[in-house]
Structure 1
C-alpha cells in the first residue's frame, strides 16, 4: 500500500530524516510517535509531497517515485500522489470565508471538477459521517476546535483518498474536545480507513493504531504492533519515551480531577 525506502530529507545542512524505511498495509492504522523534532511531521509531509524527499523511494498504490539530491519531481507526479492522500492538520486549516459544507466541497469542485450538486451531496454525506451535518452551514469561527477538526477530517476524506494522513490531530484541543476527534478517527479505523498519524496523544494512538513507529532524531528506533511497543517495548529509549507520555497523561487526568473538586 505505502512503502518508504531509505527516505532522507535535508533542510540545508540539517538532516531531518535519516534513511527511513517502513511499509504500511492497506486498511491499517500506523501511529508515528516520538519526541518533538524527531521527524514525525516531516515524514508525513514527505508521504504526500508537501515536502520533497532529498533521496529514497516512495510508493503509494501503483505510484512509485524515486528521489535524488538535486533532482526535480515533475508536477504531474506530485499531483498524482497528492490525489491519493488526504491531510488533516494540527490547526484545522479551514477556509474562514467558507461554511463547513463549502470547505468540504472546495477541493471536489476546484481540483476534481465535480458539479456543485454532486459535491454538495458528497460533502453532506461526509459531514453526517463525522457528526457535523447539523453544522453544515456554519462558519468555522462559530465552531469549537473539535468541531472544526471533524470538518477538516470530512474535507480530507472528500476525494476518497487511499490514505488519511493526520498531523497531531488532537494536540490543539483540550481533552474533552479531543475525545470527539478520537471517536471519529476510531470509527474510520473500524471501517478500514488506511491512516498514518503523527501524535503525542497516547490515548489516540493506543486506541486505534495497529502499528507504531517510534522516531527519534530522524531515525526509526523501534517499530512493531501497538500492543508491543506501548506495553513491552524492546529499546530503552522507547521505554523512557512511553513512560514520559504516560506520566504526562496522568498529570493531565489529575489536573482535571483536581479542578473538578474546587467549589464555587
Structure 2
C-alpha cells in the first residue's frame, strides 16, 4: 500500500536518512520511534513529500515517484501523491480565524470544491467521530490542546486520505490531554485506518501501533510487530532506548519533549 524504497535524504553534507526501505500495508498502524534527531519525523515527511527525498522511491497505492539528485519532479506529480495523505502536526496548525467546523470544511471547499452543505455535513460527522460535536462553533483559541488536536485529526481525515500521517501528535500535550488523542487514534486504528506516526510517546506507540520501526542516526536498527519490538527487542540499542523512555515516563508522569 505504501512503499518507501532506498530513501536517502541529505541536508547539505548531512545525511539524515540513510537508504531506508519500509513497506506499510493497508489498514495497519506503523510507529516510527527512536531518539530525537534519529530521522523519524523526516522519514514521515518524505511519505507526503513535505520533505523531498534526495534519492529513492515513494509509492502510495498506484502512484510512485522515483527521486534522484539533480532531477526535478513535477509539482503536479508531487501534489497527486500528497493528496492521498492526511497530516496531523505536533502543534495542531488550525486556522485561528476559523471555527472548529470551518477548519474541517476548509480543504473540502477550497481544494476539492465541495458544495458548502455537503462539506458541513462531512465535517460534522468527523467532529462527532473525534468527540468534538459540542465544540463545532468554537474558535481554536478557546479549545484545550487535546481538543485542538482532535479537530486537526478530523480535518486531516476530511478528504478520505489513503493514509493518515501523524508527526509527534501528542508531544505538545500534557499527559491527560494526550490520553484523549491516543484514544481517538486508537479508535481510528480499530476501524482500519492506515496510519504512520512518528512519536516518542511509547504509550501511544504501544497502544495503537501494530508495526514498529526503530530509527537511529537515519538508519533502521530494528523493525517488526509492536509486541515483539517493545516486549522482546532483539537489539541491545533498542532495549536501551525503550528502557530509558520507560524510566523517563515513570519519573515525569509521561511528559516528553518535541523532536527536531
In structure 1, what is the equivalent of residue 163 of structure 2?
A: 163
- Scaled by the length of structure 2, the TM-score of the pair is 0.97
Which residue in 2 is equivalent to 1:188?
188
Query: Residue 261 of structure 1 corresponds to which residue in structure 2?
Result: none
Aligned pairs (5 A) from 1:151-230: 151-230=151-230
1:249 is displaced (CA, Å) by 1.3
Task: State the SS of the aligned residue for 2:102.
Answer: helix
- For residue 94 of structure 1, what is the aligned residue in structure 2? 94
Bigger shift: residues 174-183 or 70-79: 70-79
Give the 5 Å matches for 1:77-92.
77-92=77-92
Displaced runs of 4 or more, over 2 A = 252-255
Residue 146 of structure 1 is matched in structure 2 by 146
Distance 1:179 1:35 in 2: 22
1:33 alignment partner in structure 2: 33
C-alpha separation in 1, matches of 2:46 and 2:73: 13
Query: Matched residue of 1:134: which SS?
Result: helix
Secondary structure in 2 aligned to 1:131?
A: coil
Provide TM-score, normalisation by structure 1. Answer: 0.95
Q: How does 1:20-99 map to 2 (within 5 A)?
A: 20-99=20-99
Contact 2:8 2:19 in 1 (8 A): yes
Query: Could you tell me which residue of structure 2 aligns to residue 249 of structure 1?
Result: 249
| Residue 123 (structure 1) aligns with | 123
**Alignment gaps of 5+ in structure 2:** 256-260
| SS state at 1:170 partner | coil
Q: How big is each residue's C-alpha offset from its partner over 1:154-211, in whole Å with a ceiling of 9 and x where there is no partner? A: 0000000000000000000000000000000000000000000001111110001000
RMSD between aligned residues: 1.0
Unmatched tracts of structure 1, length 5 or more: 256-264
Q: How far 1:70 sits from its partner (Å)?
A: 1.2
Residues paired across the two proteins, number: 255
